[in-house]
Every structure is written in structure tokens, then in C-alpha cells.
Amino acid sequence: MEELYSENDPSYSQTRVPSGIAPPTLRDLRRADDLSSYNPAALRMTHNKNRDQRYQPYSLHDSRPPREHRPSPDSRQPYDSRASHDSRPSYDTRSAPPSQQQAAYKPKPLDLKPRVDFLKCQKRLLIEELASLIRLKDTVIDYDFLCSKASVDKVYQLKERIQCAPKELVSQARSKSNPFERIGNSIFMNRAAVKLAAIDADFGLTATKNDEPLKFLDICGGPGGFSEYLIWRIYSWGQTCQGYGITLKMPKEKDEMNWHVEKFREDIPKDRLTIIHGQDSTGDVYKLENIKQVESIIKQEAEGVDLAVADGGFDFSGQEGQQEKVAQKLLLCEVITMLSTLKKGGNFVCKFFDMLTPFTINLVWLLYQLFDEICIAKPFSSRPANSERYVVCRSLTVAHPTDLIDKLSSILTHMDNDSDQQFIPRAILEDDEDFIDYVRMRNFRFITQQIESLEEFNMFIQNPYAIESFL
């Protein structure tokens, strides 16, 4: 407790740990066994006499070997979808008369303080050095390296309970447990636009220099929420922009995921977005020839874009526990596309799903090396019960690093989606304490928030008559 601060302490905001972010506050003590025992600074003090042990798993009291990604069947709650029907909880979806309704549920006050702490690279490598490090190999996931295996298991147990509940109760519980849910699409075509608006409010992505038009690339952006917001934001203050976008062409039954520029706000010029379908007309960034066409088209009109945004994702229904692994190839393609088109000094925003596997962490570390600074953030409009977060990267240090792009492209053609893999040696990451501390603290903060939200979510499922109160 002595290492933690109260936000009432005037010295709190000036206090820094080596990674350059403020230390955890008393607000972060969600549970007695949570962040107080996961403080990297405290751990380093304990192990600074033996540097080879400074990154012991955070669950220091647990000497068990790493388990599989999902909890074992014996440890699951009765809500397991594979359990017998009789063991599942019963849900009452009927409306209760007012006399039987429970008193309003009183959650903790909302924390509206934005998390915009950037991490600046202090051990920057040359592009040639980065390229020489890249070598794809199989590995084993250690969830205690950058988070807590017990917390990861807790998240999956809570998610499995929700999966067994009726859709009607899930929808009601989602609305009740997330105060930002009622914002919805706001004035835009979808919720993605609202997320980017929240990120822009914190990070100033759309600020232009010398009144020059903003050039942006929307990677995997269908149906177009990110582009709609960017065009609206720039034109709302009288400036101009030019956008480019590529997204996977979907069949008719999933047409809602294709570009739908016609749904953009009527007060913005829709011709400001140039849609690129790639060399094979599929919009598939898994294919390097399509990425090269995006690069070629942009180079014909500009030296590069000022801003690249990537919001690609999948329908993870039924495989929520594997979404980080499923998204790895897509994330790699988005990074390759960004490096092929972003000019020096440009910014990048990319959606991730958890940061627990070596491959994902390698991508984040690579961005940390390539940009002047990065920030791992979760906008308020992003549902707290899900695993998504965004990496905001400011000021690319080297434009179009050809050697690095070639190495990453080689990984794309050889990576195995069925195996756990890495392409940067773990020892390189362990040697960068600033980076490790930063990612750890972000992971603990997000997973703590996620567990609390999922528990509240389940509470509203089990008690559908409870009334939410965010005041």
C-alpha cells in the first residue's frame, strides 16, 4: 500500500516510474490480491540484486506450470456450455411488477480520466538491426509474463457464463452494465466512428500542419465508420482531406461489412474517399500484391499519408477465447500496409485484441521501435467487457523501411495459424524494462476493468429486474 498514491496527493501527477507513466493509484486497487502485488516497480526492487530473476511471473505465490489457454473443464462453473442442461442456471425473462423490482443497482462512480500516457523508446535500434532480429519460430505462451494467468482464466469463465444466457437477457445486461452503450452510433453510421472520435479527442489525430490537406488510409475499414468520422471532422472546421480505403469484399449475405459510402453523413463530401480493391479486386490485405497496389496508387498522388488507421476484426462468436490468436495474421498485414504507405512523421492507430501472446507483443514492440512514441489506450466508447484496445503511434521515424517490410512479408507467407509463434527473441523484450513495465501495467488495468464489467454483466443476467444507476 505504501507504494500507491491517492489522486488527492498533489504530487501524484508529477510522480513517474522508469517507464514514464504514473504509478498505480488507490483507484486501481480493485481487489486485495490484484495490482498491489503486480507492481513492476516493487518487483524490481525485490529482484534488483539478481537481475536474472527480475521478470518472475507476477503470480509469485503460484508455482504451478503454465496451463492451457482456457480453464480446465473441472475448474469451470455450472454455466459451461458443455455441462448438462440440468446443471445450467435458469433464467427468468418475464417482466416483474413494480412491487417486485429490486432497488437500483449502485455501481462505482465512473472514471472519466483519459489514459493518454505515451511510452517513448529509449533503446531504439536501426532498421537494419530490427530486420536482422526477425526470425519466425514456435514458442509457448506464458500468460504470467505480461499479465496474470489467474486473471485470464477468470475472464474466460465469466465469458462462458454469458454465452449460456438467453440473447434477450444478454442484450439487456449489456445496456445496463455499460453507461456508454446508450451513445450508440451518435451522428455517424456505426459505433466504430464514435470510437475514433473518442481517440481523436484524446490524441489530436486530425490536427493538420500549415493548413495542409490531411491524407489518410483506412485499412480494413468497411463499411466506413472511421473514414466517415475523419472526413466529417476535417471539414467541420473548414479544412480539406483526401482518404484512401481498402477492405475485404464480402458476399451479399454479409454486405453490411462492405464499403457503404452512401451512408455517410449528408453534410460531408463523399468523393474524398478513394476506394481501392487491390490487384485481384478482392480488397484482401492478406495478399501482398493488393498491398502493393495500395502503395502504388497513393504514391501516384502523394509521397505518403499523414495518418493510417486500422480497425480490422472478425466475427468471434463462439471463439472469444481465441480472438487474439485469430487476429495475428490480420494485424501483421495491417502493419505491413501501414509501413508501405505512411510518410515519415505520420501517425498510426491500430486495434488489437489482448496483448498476451508472443506474436502480438512482438508487433507492439516493433511499433514502439518504429515510432517516436506509442500509447496503448481503450476509448470510453469501447465496451469494457471486451478485449479490444488501440495502439496509438505518433511520428514514424523512417518512411518505407524496405528491408523490414520484406522480412515481415516473409513472415506472412510462412506463419502457422495453428501454432504459437514469435518473431522477436524474448530476451530482447526482457532487456527493455520500460516497454515490459508499460505493457504489464496496461494489461493489468484493462483486465481488471474487464473482470469487473463481466461480473456486473453477469449480475444483471442473474438479476434481470435490477435497475442500473450511473449517477
Q: Rounded to an integer, what distance in angstroms lies between the CA atom of residue 60 and that of residue 304?
A: 48
Residue keyed to cell 495453428? 418
Task: Tell me 162's DSSP state.
Answer: H
Q: Which three cell numbers stand for residue 213?
A: 490537406
Residue keyed to cell 493548413? 211
Q: Is the distance from CB of 58 to CB of 440 less than 8 angstroms? A: yes
Q: Rounded to an integer, what distance in angstroms lies between the CA atom of residue 369 and that of residue 125?
A: 7
Omega before residue 57 within 30° of 0, cis: no
What strands lie across the sheet with 214-219, from one edge to the other? 119-120, 371-377, 388-396, 342-353, 305-310, 214-219, 241-246, 273-275
Q: Which three cell numbers stand for residue 371?
A: 515510432
Of 114, 29, 155, 174, which is closest to residue 380 (Cα–Cα)?
Answer: 114
Q: Rounded to an integer, what distance in angstroms lies between the CA atom of residue 414 and that of residue 136?
A: 8
Phi, psi dihedrals of residue 182, rounded to the nearest 5° = -75, -10
Residue 102, classified by CB atoms within 10 Å of its CB into exposed (0-12), middle (13-18) or buried (19+), is exposed
351 is catalytic: yes
Strand partners, 274: 244
Q: Rounded to an integer, what distance in angstroms lies between the CA atom of residue 378 and that of residue 391?
A: 9
Say which amino acid occupies 15. Answer: T
Q: Which three cell numbers stand for residue 354?
A: 489482448
Q: How far, in whole angstroms, is CA 95 from its chain's centroid?
A: 37
Q: Is the distance from CB of 28 to CB of 35 less than 8 angstroms? A: yes
Q: Rounded to an integer, what distance in angstroms lies between the CA atom of residue 167 and that of residue 268?
A: 37
One of 149, 176, 249, 351 is an active-site residue; which one?
351
Helices and strands in the chain: count of H runs, count of E runs: 14, 10
Instruction: Please identify every residue annotated as catalytic.
Output: 351
